[in-house]
Structure 1
Amino acid sequence: MSFWDTVAQEQERIYDLRCLPSKWVHLASAQAITIYLLLLTSNRDNVLQHHPNLPITLLFTLRTNFEHLHRMLSGYTAPTKQPRCRQTWEDWVFAESKLRTATVYFILASCYDVDYGLPCDRDIDHKFGEIELPATKSLWEATDEVSWNKVRDLAIPAQGRAHPVESSETRLNYTNLVELNKLHGGPECRATMKCDSGLESKVQTWYKKMDELGMLVSLCSVMGD
């Protein structure tokens, strides 16, 4: 049995799990399917020869996973406040993981002709520009809730630490990067766009703290503007 025979079987197994209520199962399934899609792009001709329908079935399954994930947590954001309580590390990891998985998909879709997958083509659907940028490297790589809270507290202004329930992290999105690239793109762009010093400062801060996925997103924003 070849590797892609195994992938085809795994896709069917993952699709059979679609009715399970566990958000972590759907997240892990979406991550696995995304990895298979990435591998498929570098083996496209060989895969299509033996499994011509695999790209469509993978994308169909990915869409199903994200439909369930959207019902459990809407959008592509990692909110930092909840009513009457501070967000838990587990909830943050789930939201951030979903965001990052979607980011990889949209990067893939920007490089290849992906016309069936996550909702992203209609006016009412999610678009790449709406996705928040990946969290900082130190937050994402925190190994437990204690270390995550320490990093998170350092990122919250003093007034926010005094009222943690009312404070929230301001997250940039992909459109912010594209807008800033256009601003720096040449005289014709600068003549028609007003520089937002606050936005530029936030982006520069994000650049300093981003991880490897952030680097990839930043590169895409330069290539795609």
Structure 2
Amino acid sequence: MTSPAIRERNFINITGEPNAGRHARRIHVRRTVMKNYHRQRRQKKKLPSKQGPAASSLGSEQATQSSSPYSSNLSLLDGRSPNEVVLDPAASSLFRAKAHDNPIHAQISTSIIRFLCGLVVKARQSICHVGFIHHAALEAESPSNHFLATCRDILSSHHDSTAPSPSSPALWERVHVAQEDIYVTCAQMNNWQLLSAAQAITLYILARFRNGKDDRFPHMDIALLFTLRKVFSHLKADYLSDGYHNRKCGPPAIPTSSWRDWIFHESVSRTATVYFLLTVVVSMDFGIECDQADRWRVEDMLLPGAKASWEARDEVAWRSSTSVSGNVDRLPFTLRLGDLASVDSSSGLQAQIAAWQEELDEFGMVITLAGQMLMD
């Protein structure tokens, strides 16, 4: 008999009610499989005409070379270009960079991907440098930030000069244990613990994408995505369904009654936005998710708060920063990503967007780029 101490790497508890929505899932899976099949056929037909014999031989030579995440100006993950990642039949169906026919979109996509991968680098240096994690999150060790502290320790211990490779089994074994712990216990978490868990899982997903596929943990990608969905389900049901929740398709408007409430809601919104940024530039469809009326959409994500408000060291500084553009309930906090792509040229909306753009941080700049892709 297997010892209870040995964890099964490939275990995924998909749902507590397997029969719920089964018919809808089957339809979605069939459509997704056929859509992916026809897309791959089209790509294979285009590949010979675009590359030719010389390009094919060059590709085979490059495949034998050692790779690194940023080995060339347009390289991603393991040194390949976005198109090479997408067209590689051996690549994982998840966490692949999407191909874009529009060269401007391809450039924007590469910039967004590099920013997201860079968050992993920042996390191992200092997790408070990550754009969706507030500096107050780890200032004091407590049960509320336990999962984020564990994530910090895992990433930092496996990404220094003396530690194993980022693709080592030891790294993903620890991530697997952390992911399973979050999945099993999230129903008993409070709001800050759920936030910490969501941020930790998001960083694991980014690390997984940045480091590429590891065949020793074939179901890690799906396990992480299911865990993130479960954590956000509890967040939405238990802590985002109050009076502030006035839209089903996106997070509620961020309250400004207290600094602590603002930090929580702003952090939840930023963490969710990272996931949606990934969906814009990376393949995240694993054939199980079904469209639901209450699911958040990328265009309904709140635009992040001002740089000065996010970086304020205390409540006095925060209130001072929010009063620069008016009062603490200023309108830019209610702007959503879809507003950047809106055809509405009304002076009121444009004035709000202009005020937000004048105060944004690098996280907001990347969201602006994503909005440009949605606009086109």
Task: Output the TM-score relative to the length of structure 2.
Answer: 0.49
Deviation at 1:140, TM superposition (A): 0.7
1:18 pairs, out of 163, 176, 186, with 186
Is 1:51 aligned to residue 217 of structure 2?
yes
How many equivalent residue pairs?
195
2:278, 2:357 → 1: CA distance? Answer: 22
Aligned to 2:247: none
- Equivalent residue letter for 2:234: H
Task: Summarize the alignment of residues 122-141 of structure 1 with structure 2, pairs less than 5 Å apart.
Answer: 122-141=292-311
Aligned to 2:208: 40
1:121, 1:127 → 2: CA distance? Answer: 10
User: RMSD over aligned Cα, in angstroms?
Assistant: 2.1
Is 1:79 aligned to residue 242 of structure 2?
no
Check whether the contact 2:255–2:265 (CA below 8 A) recurs between aligned residues.
no
Structure with greater helix percent: 1
Q: Deviations over 1:44-100 (max 9, x none)?
A: 32x2x111111111011111110111121135134335xxxxx11111100000000
1:106 pairs, out of 276, 280, 284, with 276
1:15, 1:125 → 2: CA distance? Answer: 20
1:110, 1:98 → 2: CA distance? Answer: 19
Deviation at 1:17, TM superposition (A): 2.2
- Equivalent residue letter for 1:5: E
Check whether the contact 1:103–1:128 (CA below 8 A) recurs between aligned residues.
yes
Task: Summarize the alignment of residues 47-196 of structure 1 with structure 2, pairs less than 5 Å apart.
Answer: 47=214, 49-71=215-237, 72-74=239-241, 75-80=250-255, 87-115=257-285, 121-157=291-327, 168-170=329-331, 171-179=334-342, 195-196=345-346
1:40, 1:120 → 2: CA distance? Answer: 24
- Equivalent residue letter for 2:221: P
1:110, 1:4 → 2: CA distance? Answer: 26
2:337, 2:223 → 1: CA distance? Answer: 28
Task: Summarize the alignment of residues 209-224 of structure 1 with structure 2, pairs less than 5 Å apart.
Answer: 209-224=359-374
Structure 1: gaps (5+ residues): 82-86, 158-166, 184-193
Classify 1:153/1:62 alpha carbon distance in 2 versus 1 (closer, same or farther; 3 Å): same
Classify 1:172/1:110 alpha carbon distance in 2 versus 1 (closer, same or farther; 3 Å): same
Check whether the contact 1:79–1:168 (CA below 8 A) recurs between aligned residues.
no
Deviation at 1:222, TM superposition (A): 1.1
Residue identity over aligned pairs, in percent, reads 36
Tell me, what secondary structure is at the counterpart of 2:206?
helix
- Equivalent residue letter for 1:37: I
Q: Deviations over 1:84-136 (max 9, x none)?
A: xxx1111110000000000001011121221369x883344211111110000
Tell me, what secondary structure is at the counterpart of 2:186?
coil
Structure 2: gaps (5+ residues): 1-168, 242-249
Check whether the contact 1:30–1:62 (CA below 8 A) recurs between aligned residues.
yes
